[in-house]
Structure 1
Amino acid sequence: MPRFAANLSFMFNEVDFIARFERAARAGFAAVEFLFPYVHDADEIARQLAAHDLELVLFNAPPGDWQAGERGLAALPGRQAEFRAGIEDALIHAERLHCPRVHVMAGNMTAPADFDAMHETFLDNLAHTARRFAEYGITALIEPINRRDMPAYFLSRQAAAHAIVHELGATNVAVQMDFYHAQIMDGDVWRTFRAGRDRIGHIQIAGVPERHEPDDGELNYPWLFERLDAAGYSGWIGCEYIPRDDTQAGLAWFTPWRRG
């Protein structure tokens, strides 16, 4: 049976962040994920998770200056010290919140001519992250993001992400496959999933092309959920979509899988 996690950075925005945990549990979710925990009190997040019997399955490592447009540091030459300090911060939060996965964002391309240097920096920083995370049983995830939403992002293709994981050879580095991004950039989502199954550590979903609920658009999500079940996928599926209107009103698609 598919296991779904509500992404609290996208869903239940009708209330403030801390109140979203209760909303997610009341809607029937057993788990949550979100982008960043760092501006919130970790102890309060932990209290919300415990109070509502929720598992935290994913958050992102510090991305640099998000408000200025930065989207990660892992592939940026010259920012290694800042990146590694961020990994230590992520570890503190992952331990406090019992979160087993952290998405490590690559960052934006600086210039096409810089690709080789960025690739090597990415590999080096991921190797460092894998070593640090291994001490705590945490998996680092890398995610290809489509070039329509993030035109400059360093990593946009599934094949490129899988090649990096293969090259690293670390057992605790995996691909975060968002079917929304994958459909826009690669298409043929199910075959793409099957081809890289052993290197996929987390799935996310949203309708294509508008990034709304997974009940409309190009992808037949009920069919995909059945195929994931049949394939034995037992990981979480993060609901990283933008509700068309009120979050709760758009959850009819989730009824067959809601907790309780």
Structure 2
Amino acid sequence: MPGPKLAANLSMIFQEVEFLDRFAAAAAVGFHAVECLFPYPFAASEIRSRLEAWKLEQVLFNAAQGDFEKGERGIAGLPGREADFRRAIDLALDYAQTLRCPRIHVMAGLVPLQGDPRRHREVYVENLSWAAGQARSVKVDLMLEPLNAVDFPGYLIGTPQAARSVIEEVGASNIKLQYDVYHAQMTHGRLLDNFAANQDIVGHVQIAGVPGRNEPDDSQEINYRAVFAGLERMGYDGWIGCEYRPKGDTVAGLGWAAPYGIGARGAR
């Protein structure tokens, strides 16, 4: 099928139904792949059965982010949480094997106002060096995603350049950049130029509209037709995760994806 390979982020879209029913909803409108944030409230076997039933591929999920209620957004770069991080990676890799998922996003975490970013980065590099070996043994890639400072003030990794410096320091071939076009636009713009400069380390792409993180349609400031054309021109043929918050009904808002075989008429 021509055009981008779109994957439904089931933590963000199809909120009209319960999580385990979103696999059927995604397949019904033509998606062939899914991703999610945190699958852990559900048994991996339950998710696997949905994937098989609806002939879907799980292409990404996140390692546990820590204590959300206490404001944690990842623990990979938090001094003193190394043991928790290792448990989170072990759990994520167990899920990855059951779900046959080749990618795990590892969230770096927030640097406190009085924290030392250099120390947090040291911990991040040490943790990733260990995790890369564990993941390599089961043929899984670890994704590093820069998050914008508007939505995630204090996040340790805010730009592709910051992610690249960590990736190069760790030196593991299975640690890659997760290029989220929404975060990139919120942070620095020049979306295709920045993608091109880092294409050698890109392992996954995600999209959403700016502002608002809603549908990537014509009502927002990113010209996604140009972005998709640019990615195709540069030879990117990986999955593109639809990680956005629908303004209303998910299916009603899929008009932007109709040219790529997704929508009410994209049903199998």
TM-score past 0.5 threshold: yes
Q: Which residues in structure 2 correspond to 1:50-199 (within 5 Å)?
A: 50-111=52-113, 113-199=115-201
2:240 is aligned with 1:243: no
Of residues 141-150 and 161-170 in structure 1, the stretch that sits farther from structure 2 once superposed is: 161-170
Specify the code of the residue in structure 1 equivalent to 2:228.
F
Structure 2 stretches lacking a partner, 5+ long: none
Say what the alpha-carbon RMSD is for the aligned residues.
1.1
User: Secondary structure in 1 aligned to 2:8?
Assistant: strand
CA distance in 2, matches of 1:106, 1:257: 33
User: Secondary structure in 1 aligned to 2:245?
Assistant: coil
Of residues 120-129 and 223-232 in structure 1, the stretch that sits farther from structure 2 once superposed is: 223-232
* Cα contact 1:63–1:71 (8 A) shared by 2: yes
2:221 is aligned with 1:218: yes
Q: Please give the per-residue CA displacement for 1:54-106, whole angstroms capped at 9, x wherever unaligned.
A: 00000000111123221111000110011001100001000000000000000
Aligned length: 260
User: Secondary structure in 2 aligned to 1:202?
Assistant: strand
Q: Please give the per-residue CA displacement for 1:94-153, whole angstroms capped at 9, x wherever unaligned.
A: 000000000000011123541111010000001111100000110000111111111122
Specify the code of the residue in structure 1 equivalent to 2:224.
Y
TM-score when normalising by structure 2: 0.95
User: Secondary structure in 1 aligned to 2:176?
Assistant: strand
Task: Using the aligned pairs only, state the percent identity.
Answer: 47
Q: Please give the per-residue CA displacement for 1:41-62, whole angstroms capped at 9, x wherever unaligned.
A: 2111001000000000000001
Structure 1 stretches lacking a partner, 5+ long: none
* Cα contact 1:6–1:24 (8 A) shared by 2: yes
Of residues 47-56 and 208-217 in structure 1, the stretch that sits farther from structure 2 once superposed is: 208-217
* Cα contact 1:143–1:177 (8 A) shared by 2: yes
CA distance in 1, matches of 2:150, 2:77: 20
Of residues 154-163 and 198-207 in structure 1, the stretch that sits farther from structure 2 once superposed is: 154-163
TM-score when normalising by structure 1: 0.97
* Cα contact 1:11–1:241 (8 A) shared by 2: yes
Specify the code of the residue in structure 1 equivalent to 2:161.
A
Specify the code of the residue in structure 2 equivalent to 1:221.
Y
* Cα contact 1:158–1:186 (8 A) shared by 2: no
* Cα contact 1:179–1:204 (8 A) shared by 2: yes
Specify the code of the residue in structure 2 equivalent to 1:162.
R
